[in-house]
């Protein structure tokens, strides 16, 4: 193969992998560039371009796949690098837990390995998928609402800066979130609470028959009211904190207590009660609720660990 033919073949291979709209343009340019370099290499060696020079040249330039990837637009992180360790941890815990809880049935002889694998075993891999969606949504929110360099906060976020745990300072010292944003957040939280209280009623407004979204009778009778009560209490606290952002130890404890109680009650609901009367709705809802609860549990653990952490003076050496 002649040196120029080899270059042509390489350029064709790269061009085939490029998007159609730039294929010809980049291919032509690449051909000219490599041709120039081949000539320069030959001139330096004091001979005609040969196959060896062409091979060296294209090897130095890179594999066609790598060359094409450098021409592609920069992508984005589906999972933010900072979230990656948490994602791996959560995915491992979820898959490991599901396997650990269900695999013993195989060893106990109440199920076969193949039956386990096509149900709980392979099904556990849905966890990483669900978590990817979760983290991708978080990454998307961060991408579309970057931190404003002037206000140092993201649009639509309530918490502005770090606030001292004391009453002895003026709240006017910090820039408060816009009234419109706070009202919208409160309205959305109230709407979500209302939806949780009566999903079938809300969905009836949009679809002909939303009876599938009815709660199970016992759940509605015994657990719904405490859950709604906790949600309303959290919303009321949110409104109070927005009005006066000074952090106080009792308020923080109350905030944490309400949160932990809500998560605890949701755990009980998810694992000991039938939530939706229709099994086809109950099972997937509980799967999503499990992810929500898992994330919240980890947040609670992190909160508790942070609450106990103190900066200590280094031990002095004699």
Partner 1 sequence: MVAIRDSNAQKLETELRRGVLVLAVLSRLRTAQYGYSLRQALAEEGMPIEEGTLYPLLRRLEEQGLLASDWRIEEGPPRRYYKLNAKGARLYDELTTNWRGLVKTMDRLLD
Interface residue list for partner 1 (CB under 8 A): 22, 25-26, 28-33, 35-37, 40, 60-62, 66-67, 70-71
| Of 61 and 259, CB closest to partner 1 | 61
- Assess contact for 82 and 135: CB atoms under 8 A: no
Shortest CB 151 distance to partner 1, Å: 25
Shortest CB 76 distance to partner 1, Å: 16
Rounded to whole angstroms, how far apart are CA atoms 54 and 39? 10
| Of 39 and 214, CB closest to partner 1 | 39
Shortest CB 264 distance to partner 1, Å: 48
- Assess contact for 275 and 285: CB atoms under 8 A: yes
Shortest CB 16 distance to partner 1, Å: 17
Shortest CB 36 distance to partner 1, Å: 4
| Of 7 and 224, CB closest to partner 1 | 7
Shortest CB 60 distance to partner 1, Å: 7
**SS3 for the chain, per residue?**
CCHHHHHHHHHHHHHHHCCHHHHHHHHHHHHHHHHHHHHHHHHHHCCCCCHHHHHHHHHHHCCHHHHHHHHCCCCCCCCCHHHHHHHHHHHHHHHHHHHHHHCHHHHCCCCCHHHHHHHHHHHCCHHHHHHHHHHHHHHHHHHHCCCCCCCCCCCCCCCCCCCCCCCCCCHHHCCCCCHHHHHHHHHHHHHHHHHHHCHHHHHHCCCCCCHHHCECHHHHHHHHHHHHHHHHHHHHHHHHHHHCCCCCHHHHHHHHHHHHHHHHHHHHHHHHCCCECCHHHHHHHHHHHHHHHHHHHHHHHHHHHHHHCCCCCCCCCC
- Provide φ and ψ at 276, rounded to 5°: -100, 140
Shortest CB 211 distance to partner 1, Å: 54
Rounded to whole angstroms, how far apart are CA atoms 263 and 224? 14
| Of 12 and 66, CB closest to partner 1 | 66
| Of 37 and 290, CB closest to partner 1 | 37
Shortest CB 139 distance to partner 1, Å: 23
| Of 2 and 299, CB closest to partner 1 | 2
């Amino acid at each position: 193969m002649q040196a120029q033919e080899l270059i042509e073949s390489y350029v064709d291979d790269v061009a085939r992998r490029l998007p159609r709209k730039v294929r010809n343009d980049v291919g032509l340019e690449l051909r000219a560039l490599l041709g120039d370099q081949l000539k320069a290499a030959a001139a330096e060696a004091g001979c005609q371009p040969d196959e060896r020079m062409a091979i060296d040249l294209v090897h130095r330039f890179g594999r066609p796949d790598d060359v094409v990837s450098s021409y592609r637009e920069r992508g984005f992180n589906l999972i933010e690098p900072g979230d990656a360790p948490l994602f791996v941890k959560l995915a491992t815990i979820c898959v490991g837990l599901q396997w650990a809880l269900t695999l013993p049935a195989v060893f106990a002889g109440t199920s076969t390995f193949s039956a386990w694998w096509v149900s709980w075993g392979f099904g556990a891999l849905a966890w990483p998928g669900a978590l990817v969606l979760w983290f991708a949504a978080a990454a998307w929110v961060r991408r579309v609402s970057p931190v404003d360099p002037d206000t140092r906060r993201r649009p639509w976020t309530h918490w502005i800066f770090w606030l001292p745990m004391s009453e002895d300072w003026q709240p006017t010292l910090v820039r408060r979130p816009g009234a419109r944003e706070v009202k919208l957040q409160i309205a959305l939280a109230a709407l979500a609470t209302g939806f949780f209280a009566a999903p079938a009623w809300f969905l009836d407004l949009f679809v002909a028959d939303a009876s599938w979204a009815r709660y199970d009778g016992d759940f509605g009778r015994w657990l719904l009211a405490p859950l709604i009560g906790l949600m309303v209490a959290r919303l009321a606290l949110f409104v109070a904190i927005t009005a006066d952002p000074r952090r106080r130890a009792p308020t923080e404890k109350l905030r944490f207590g309400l949160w932990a109680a809500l998560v605890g009650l949701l755990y009980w609901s998810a694992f000991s009660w039938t939530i939706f009367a229709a099994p086809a709705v109950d099972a997937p809802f509980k799967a999503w609720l499990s992810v929500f609860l898992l994330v919240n549990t980890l947040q609670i653990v992190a909160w508790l660990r942070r609450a106990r952490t103190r900066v200590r003076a280094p031990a002095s050496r004699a």
